Amino acid sequence: MKLRVVLVGPPGAGKGTQAQFLSAQFDIVQISTGDIFRANVGNGTKLGLEAKKYMDVGDLVPDSVTIAMVNDRLAEDDVRHGFLLDGFPRNVEQAAALDGLLEELGSGLDAVLEMQVDNDEIVRRLAGRRTCHGCGQIWHVDYDPTKVEGVCDTCGGELYQREDDQPATIRRRLEVYDEQTSPLVSYYAERGLLVALSATGDVEGVTARAIEALKRATG
């Protein structure tokens, strides 16, 4: 099934975790703007140097930079079979730009999955998040620990804690979500695309409910 889906939700809601399972389930590419920015930061590109200034303090990277990057990514061949956007759009301007880009490609969105989690749980999830340097898999020190601390079970790579998962930056990112990103919920509800999903409970349960909800919304 060719599916074009957006995941919306606060930082730590589990977008990246679920995107890995959902993209495999529906055989579509995962496009994470956060991952693309982090790869550019890691490689020291001009885009990475520009993005880092904003990421380090928990602010959004300017729309001009982000939208141009997504425009390039959506022009690639693999997107024709469907995609799952994780972390984009993050404000109404980006959502409107996405509508324009998809119109040019001749295909609109099928669904927007809103992942709902309360703030206390978000802070617990972000504070314990660890990511693999090697394969990018997401772990959690309590909820999803590796067998050997600091080492990825899947590829043996070293785990790291994201710099923006520090308490002050987490607070700022939650503010940014409330002020700039949460208006997307009504933006997409008005367009009949919104599918609300409780993202609390274990990862497998959330995945099962997400698959069910997406099949119902697009079936």
List the one residue out of 34, 28, 174 whose CA is nearest residue 111. 28
Q: Is 60 in the site for ligand AMP (CB under 6 A)?
A: yes
Q: Is 12 in the site for ligand ADP (CB under 6 A)?
A: yes
For the chain, helix (H) and strand (E) counts, in that order, are: 9, 8
Q: What is the DSSP string of 66-117?
A: HHHHHHHHHTSGGGGGEEEEES---SHHHHHHHHHHHHHHT---SEEEEEE-
**Interface residue with ligand AMP, options 9, 10, 14, 58 (CB under 6 A):** 58
**Interface residue with ligand AMP, options 34, 132, 159, 214 (CB under 6 A):** 34
How many Cβ atoms from other residues are within 10 Å of residue 44's Cβ? 9
Q: Which residues are within 8 A (CB) of 198 and not within 5 positions of it... i.e. 6 or more apart?
A: 116, 206, 209
Please report, as residue ranges, which positions from 135 to 174 form the binding site for ligand ADP (by CB under 6 A).
Answer: 138-140, 143-144
> x/- binding map, residues 95-134, to ligand ADP, per CB under 6 A?
------------------------------x--xx-----
Q: Is 14 in the site for ligand ADP (CB under 6 A)?
A: yes
> x/- binding map, residues 122-161, to ligand AMP, per CB under 6 A?
----------------------------------------
